[in-house]
Amino acid sequence: MRKLTFDKVLKKSIYKDRDALYDLLPKEGLVGRVSERNDLIMELAPILLNSPVASMFVYGTPGTGKTALTLEICNELKRESKKKHIEIKVVYINCSENRTEYSILLEILTRLSNTEVPKLGWSTKKVLTEIRSSLKNNTNVLVVLDEIDYVLKESGDDILYRLSRINNNLTSKLSSIVISNDLRVYDYLSPRTQSSFGRIKIIFSPYTTQELKAILANRAAKAYLPKVVSSAVLGKIADIESERGGDARKALELLDACGKISLARGKKRLTLEVVEEADKNLERDSLIKTLTGLTKHQKILYLTLLKSKAQTTGPEVYLNYVKACKSFKATPLSERRIRTFVIFFNELDLIHSEVGWVTNLKKKSRKISLNLDSAIKIKIRKKVRDSI
């Protein structure tokens, strides 16, 4: 790889507008998702008749356009409401930053109230009273709670129950949309909340190869100079990401990674070989990021797995883990706890694990394997060891 200078990068750039790859809301609108768009328009239309709508659940795996499309429709709703002289406020809250019922209610009140709201000192009842007071001015309010998974798993579903009941005996017009990355989100709701919240469900399925290719082509035309990205390259990236889960964000990230490698090498076009290289680099970097975020004992366990042979068993893994704990001066956890870590690793696709017959043990046991090449194993082993 050649040595870069700012001058070389600027003179031989293959990018036209790199930021276009990462725009959440492109000016000309999102590509695809027509069915989901129509569903949102249909359900939110009553607001333009001064009528609140039932609480909606929007859910699907990450990178499927849930947040982007919801915000795009909210912007359209605000523009249409101005034409019809209907007052509406959209309150968007990311629940990864506000993980409790109280913090969400306080954020809603802050956006609705013209007076200064203290961050501490008020009870939940007081905040609710103030929100209800703010809702009496005949303004339509649409609350969007994104990544609600954080709240449901850490604090429960009280916030959803309260939102579903907030219009009772009031002239308020509060509507709500809840966005979740977890397809099992309904499992976190109590029966009382299920009966009153989320009657309307809009599911975003993973993008297909053709849908991803259309999205990539649209962004590539704005981000790169003409003839830099071929249809074959777009098709290969779309194939890779559709097989992994149809995540548009990851597909665009891979397209950008290809551009950076090509630019660093002074190439004028993206090639299929560069796609393969960029994909391996991203996969390795993502794996390292995941592993370095594990707990100390999870890292020790994974380190023993990296040192194991191609396929090992649960009992062997535990013995090796106990030995490794001594070198790190850590007290070993129970075998049962380590089994839960192995299952967790399997769910994260860090390993492949299944229960089956083991000939040398003459019984059923958990068989564990890692499908990583030796070069990546060496790099990951060092990163994990240094982070313990």
Summarize pLDDT for 36-73 with one digit per residue, the tens. 999 999 999 999 988 888 788 999 999 999 999 999 99
**85 and 153 share one domain:** yes
Assess if residue 158 is contained within a domain: yes
Please state the φ and ψ torsions of residue 8, each to the nearest 5 degrees.
-65, -40
**150 and 259 share one domain:** no
Q: Is the pLDDT of residue 1 over 80?
A: no
Would you place residue 322 in the very low, low, confident or very high pLDDT band (cuts 50, 70, 90)? very high
CATH code of residue 266: 1.10.8.60
Report yes or no: 356 and 313 within 8 Å, Cβ to Cβ: no
Give the separation between CA 182 and CA 357, rounded to whole angstroms: 33
Give the separation between CA 77 and CA 92, rounded to whole angstroms: 14
**56 and 182 share one domain:** yes
Average pLDDT, rounded, for the chain: 87
**60 and 188 share one domain:** yes
**128 and 242 share one domain:** no
The per-residue pLDDT for 34 is: 94
Across residues 334-344, what is the average pLDDT?
A: 90
The per-residue pLDDT for 364 is: 67
DSSP state of 310: S
The last residue of a domain, from among 256, 290, 324: 290
**69 and 108 share one domain:** yes
**pLDDT > 90: what percent of the chain?**
45
C-alpha separations of 120 from 87, 89, 127 in Å: 30, 25, 11
Q: Is the pLDDT of residue 337 over 70?
A: yes
The last residue of a domain, from among 290, 318, 353: 290
Residue 268 exposed, middle or buried by CB count within 10 Å (0-12, 13-18, 19+): exposed
Assess if residue 1 is contained within a domain: no
Would you place residue 35 in the very low, low, confident or very high pLDDT band (cuts 50, 70, 90)? very high
Q: What is the pLDDT of residues 19-33, one digit of tens each?
A: 999 998 888 889 999
Which of 211, 288, 216 has the alpha carbon at shortest distance from 257? 216
Which of 354, 309, 387, 371 has the alpha carbon at shortest distance from 320? 309
Give the separation between CA 297 and CA 286, rounded to whole angstroms: 20
CATH code of residue 146: 3.40.50.300
Domain that holds residue 351: 293-387
**193 and 126 share one domain:** yes
**175 and 213 share one domain:** no
**380 and 312 share one domain:** yes
Assess if residue 46 is contained within a domain: yes
Each as own residue / partner, the long-range contacts of residues 104-112 (CB below 8 Å, 24 or more positions apart, any chain) are 104/145, 104/151, 104/159, 105/131, 105/159, 105/162, 108/143, 109/134, 112/141
Assess if residue 263 is contained within a domain: yes
Assess if residue 29 is contained within a domain: no
The last residue of a domain, from among 247, 267, 290: 290
Sheet with 173-180: list strands edge to edge: 88-94, 140-146, 173-180, 56-60, 200-204
Give the separation between CA 17 and CA 364, rounded to whole angstroms: 56
Q: What is the pLDDT of residues 157-200, one digit of tens each?
A: 889 988 888 776 666 688 999 999 987 777 788 888 887 776 78
Assess if residue 156 is contained within a domain: yes
Helix (H, G, I), strand (E, B) or coil at 52: coil
Assess if residue 138 is contained within a domain: yes
The per-residue pLDDT for 47 is: 92
**84 and 154 share one domain:** yes
CATH code of residue 369: 1.10.10.10
**175 and 319 share one domain:** no
Would you place residue 6 in the very low, low, confident or very high pLDDT band (cuts 50, 70, 90)? confident
Give the separation between CA 267 and CA 260, rounded to whole angstroms: 10
The per-residue pLDDT for 313 is: 84
DSSP state of 279: H
**65 and 198 share one domain:** yes
Tally of domains within the chain: 3
Give the separation between CA 89 and CA 116, rounded to whole angstroms: 18
Assess if residue 373 is contained within a domain: yes
Would you place residue 94 in the very low, low, confident or very high pLDDT band (cuts 50, 70, 90)? very high
Give the separation between CA 143 and CA 92, rounded to whole angstroms: 6
